[in-house]
Amino acid sequence: MYSTRLLSSLAAFAAGVAADWPQDVSVDSFVATEHGIALQGALANIGPNGSQVPGAGAGFVVASPSKVNPNYFYTWSRDSALTLKTLVDEFLFGSKALQTYIEDYIHAQAVLQTVTNPSGSLLGSGLGLGEPKFNVDGTRFNGNWGRPQRDGPALRAIAIIEYSNWLISQGQSDKVKNVIWPIIQNDLSYVGQYWNSTGFDLWEETSGSSFFTTQNQYRSLVEGSTLASVLGVPCTGCSEAPNVLCFLQSYWNGEYMVANTNLQTTSRSGIDANTVLGPISVFDVDAACDSPSLQPCHSRVLANFKVFVDTFRDPSLYPINAGLPATSGVAVGRYPEDVYYNGNPWYLITLGAAEFLYDAAAQWSRQGFVTVDPTSLGFFNDLYPNVTVGTYKRCKKSDPFRKIVDAARTYADSFVAIVQTYTPSNGTLSEQFLKTAPGTPLSANALTWSFASFVTMAQRRAGQFPPSWVPTNTTVPVPGSCVASSTPGVYAPATAAGAPNVTQGCTSNVMFVVNATTYYGENVYLTGNTTDLGSWNLDNAQPMLASNYTGERPEWFVTVAMTAGEPVTYGYVRQENCGQPWIWEQLAQNRTLVVPACGNSTAVRLQTDDAWTGPTGQSGNC
Ligand SMILES: *[C@@H]1O[C@H](CO)[C@@H](O)[C@H](O)[C@H]1NC(C)=O
Ligand SMILES: *[C@@H]1O[C@H](CO)[C@@H](O)[C@H](O)[C@H]1NC(C)=O
Ligand SMILES: *[C@@H]1O[C@H](CO)[C@@H](O)[C@H](O)[C@H]1NC(C)=O
Ligand SMILES: *[C@@H]1O[C@H](CO)[C@@H](O)[C@H](O)[C@H]1NC(C)=O
Ligand SMILES: *[C@@H]1O[C@H](CO)[C@@H](O)[C@H](O)[C@H]1NC(C)=O
Ligand SMILES: *[C@@H]1O[C@H](CO)[C@@H](O)[C@H](O)[C@H]1NC(C)=O
Ligand SMILES: *[C@@H]1O[C@H](CO)[C@@H](O)[C@H](O)[C@H]1NC(C)=O
Ligand SMILES: *[C@@H]1O[C@H](CO)[C@@H](O)[C@H](O)[C@H]1NC(C)=O
Ligand SMILES: *[C@@H]1O[C@H](CO)[C@@H](O)[C@H](O)[C@H]1NC(C)=O
Ligand SMILES: *[C@@H]1O[C@H](CO)[C@@H](O)[C@H](O)[C@H]1NC(C)=O
Ligand SMILES: *[C@@H]1O[C@H](CO)[C@@H](O)[C@H](O)[C@H]1NC(C)=O
């Protein structure tokens, strides 16, 4: 349905008339139709009634209905919070029916905060809040994963604060203060305590410091501080905001934002969609372009955008971009070195590029001028070839100011047109589309984040902007020199919002060690009767490591953060190489232990010395 019309717009690009491209009617109607499809697509992936996700708990956002190749049938803190932020925006723009989803989410997250998981638990040090991913019923996920991820608490706080501000405007301050604030305070505590610690990035691959994470952490602390003063409560962690802001400036390398720093090693350029998605996630239409919060219209952020997009123009990277002129949008993906599914364009990133340009255009329109400096000159040159360094004010219709703003919106539309080309006729948005013709959708289907990114893009294109959050004065300038710091958090279950009144103070690490002679390809897992160990459910057992395995000592081990003081029954199980049945131990007596009392969650407090008891496995020679 969309593809035919699209071909004509692409033909227009190819003919080199993109600079004069009028408001494209086919993009208009595509956006009008797909906005509704995308919103319904996202809602269909949210429990308890989402048609695509039976089994998901109320308020849990499932990443995708896809259960194999890849299995995304989990709830991620990041995707969920970004989706909920989108729903809160839609709610504020008039979709009142979404309130149930928002209330369900708040309740679900209050409970989820208390679920002890492989990153740790809530009480004590808050480490459990850094867990990226849970089962769709809100129970812990034990598999190997890139953890912790420190953007989740910040993004959740941002989404819930936006809704809280609306409640306050409706005279419901008491509800915000007594029911919702404790959830937010846990998350802001986590941000204030761990912003200066490394963690995995939004793509879950790289452990270090990540631009997207730092930028959202800053926003959460600023908004949290404002909300706390409205409610008349203290905000633990919020005083870290200037330090986070200072650190945020450090990602700039003179040409672009290096997406991930403080890495052990890297072979990557640091050019990454991370640095385009961050600015749209902190977008404030009223913010000044030189705000150190690094808005879309900031000159360094614009320069970074050009570096990012131009990287993907290379047809040897993405063949489907061959022949598209430098003035038109292209398909863009995560980062040029990406190998996941062989590295392809992503819907949510190509839509994010469009949203970025609508945002910047809106900010220029709002302030009535565009400032071009040597840093951003290259970006503006693509929009308006005659541009020079200087400030262009809004005056007459024919002014360069207006031409620049219109060109930015036209450029944005051309990214939407790319997505239109590769969207199937039923409007379903997967995670990726193939980088070679015919650009077939691939990886997870009906990705919630793809749908949410369409909705936010469509909002900005239609001139719908979320509430402002950047302080209009500069009470908090960027500190002259940055300091490494951390404020210890205060963590408590948000019981008024429905969280269980957990009292276990913390977790203790137990290292399970078992001698088990295995053949190459066979794996050993730990399972047991507590949620820490997957409650005997092998899909959620703890994978063990063989990195110390030798002929003399066939050792498998795993360190698990476990609820302190808990008595546990556990055992080991073998996973075969070709899908043969798992092999359980055969024990005369169950293995048991009592997790030591807490006190130091980083140290191993108990180590087992076990030997596999029962049948061994045989390769299926597949
Ligand atoms: C889910 O369905 C139940 C029963 O019809 C209804 O009460 C509830 O509001 C629905 N939840 C959402 C988020 O639509
Ligand atoms: C901690 O903050 C300091 C000062 O901004 C910075 O130099 C350092 O790289 C940061 N480390 C991490 C892991 O955030
Ligand atoms: C650019 O400048 C040239 C020379 O001043 C002028 O002829 C042309 O119309 C300008 N182009 C635009 C798009 O304003
Ligand atoms: C939408 O179309 C795609 C591609 O043809 C297909 O794979 C997918 O199953 C369809 N989804 C729905 C919900 O019909
Ligand atoms: C800046 O704004 C904040 C919040 O609106 C206000 O409390 C503060 O007094 C303002 N400071 C200045 C210097 O205007
Ligand atoms: C939670 O448990 C603690 C310790 O048992 C108790 O002091 C507190 O009153 C309980 N809170 C609620 C809301 O029940
Ligand atoms: C694995 O080997 C390393 C290096 O010899 C050692 O430090 C570590 O304690 C071993 N781990 C276990 C579980 O034995
Ligand atoms: C697990 O097993 C232990 C016995 O070792 C028992 O005391 C405990 O109650 C069990 N826990 C659960 C959650 O069933
Ligand atoms: C181990 O515990 C399970 C679950 O409580 C029980 O069914 C089983 O009989 C026990 N096995 C032995 C050998 O005690
Ligand atoms: C916890 O254990 C680690 C590793 O043994 C040690 O470095 C740290 O000092 C301990 N912390 C406390 C508070 O005891
Ligand atoms: C595991 O193997 C090592 C090395 O052979 C041995 O020292 C240790 O006693 C074994 N553990 C058990 C429980 O058999």
Residues 6 or more apart whose CB falls under 8 angstroms from that of 218 comprise 241, 244, 245, 248, 282, 293
- Single residue among 437, 461, 485 that ends a domain in this structure: 461
Q: Ligand 2: residues whose CB is within 6 Å? A: 196-198, 209, 246-247, 262, 482-484
Confidence of residue 400 (pLDDT cuts 50, 70, 90): very high
Residues 6 or more apart whose CB falls under 8 angstroms from that of 7 comprise 421
**Does a structural domain hold residue 496?**
no
Residue of 590, 591, 593, 613 with the most ligand 9 atoms within 8 Å of its CB, for mutation:
590
CA-nearest residue, atom 2 of ligand 10: 603
In the block, tokens 């693509």 appear at 382
Owning domain of residue 600: 505-611
C-alpha 45/C-alpha 62 separation (Å) is: 5
**pLDDT for 598 beyond 80:** no
Instruction: Report pLDDT digits (tens) over 11-36.
Output: 333 333 232 233 455 899 999 999 99
**pLDDT for 473 beyond 70:** no
C-alpha 16/C-alpha 18 separation (Å) is: 6
- Say which range, 90-94, 142-146, 247-251, 377-381, has the weakest mean pLDDT: 142-146
**50 CA distance to ligand 1 centroid (A)?**
9
Examine the residue annotation and report whether 413 is marked as an active-site residue of this protein: no
Any idea what the CATH number is for the domain that residue 308 is in? 1.50.10.10
Confidence of residue 529 (pLDDT cuts 50, 70, 90): very high
Tell me: do 281 and 343 sit in the same domain.
yes
Q: Return the number of other C-beta atoms located less than 10 Å from residue 530's C-beta.
A: 19
Cβ atoms 236, 283 nearer than 8 A: no
**Does a structural domain hold residue 618?**
no
Give the total number of structural domains in the chain: 2
Beta-sheet pairing, 75-76 with 133-134: antiparallel
**Does a structural domain hold residue 556?**
yes
Examine the residue annotation and report whether 284 is marked as an active-site residue of this protein: no
Tell me: do 237 and 325 sit in the same domain.
yes
Closest CA to 513 of 595, 585, 597, 611: 611
What's the whole-number average pLDDT of the chain? 92
pTM: 0.84
Tell me: do 450 and 512 sit in the same domain.
no
* 145 in a known ligand binding site: yes
**548 CA distance to ligand 7 centroid (A)?**
6
Q: Residue 16, exposed/middle/buried by CB under 10 A (0-12, 13-18, 19+)?
A: exposed
**Does a structural domain hold residue 124?**
yes
**Does a structural domain hold residue 242?**
yes
In this prediction, residues 578-582 reach a mean pLDDT of 93
Closest CA to 162 of 595, 468, 564: 468
**Ligand nearest to the backbone CA of 107:** 1
Alpha helices in 312-370 (DSSP H): 347-367
Tell me: do 296 and 399 sit in the same domain.
yes
Any idea what the CATH number is for the domain that residue 593 is in? 2.60.40.10
Per-residue confidence (pLDDT) for residue 53, from 0 to 100: 98
Tell me: do 535 and 434 sit in the same domain.
no
Higher-pLDDT residue of 453, 481: 453
Measuring CA to CA, how many Å separate 274 from each of 214, 243, 256, 378, 413? 11, 21, 12, 21, 21
Per-residue confidence (pLDDT) for residue 507, from 0 to 100: 76
**555 CA distance to ligand 7 centroid (A)?**
10
- Single residue among 461, 494, 527 that ends a domain in this structure: 461
**Does a structural domain hold residue 452?**
yes
C-alpha 39/C-alpha 455 separation (Å) is: 6
Q: Is 589 close to ligand 9, i.e. is its CB under 6 Å away?
A: yes
Residue of 524, 553, 557 with the most ligand 11 atoms within 8 Å of its CB, for mutation:
553
**Does a structural domain hold residue 20?**
no
**Does a structural domain hold residue 187?**
yes
**Ligand nearest to the backbone CA of 514:** 11
C-alpha 409/C-alpha 33 separation (Å) is: 19
Q: What angle do CA 444, 261, 122 make, to 5 degrees?
A: 65
Tell me: do 336 and 224 sit in the same domain.
yes
In this prediction, residues 35-46 reach a mean pLDDT of 98
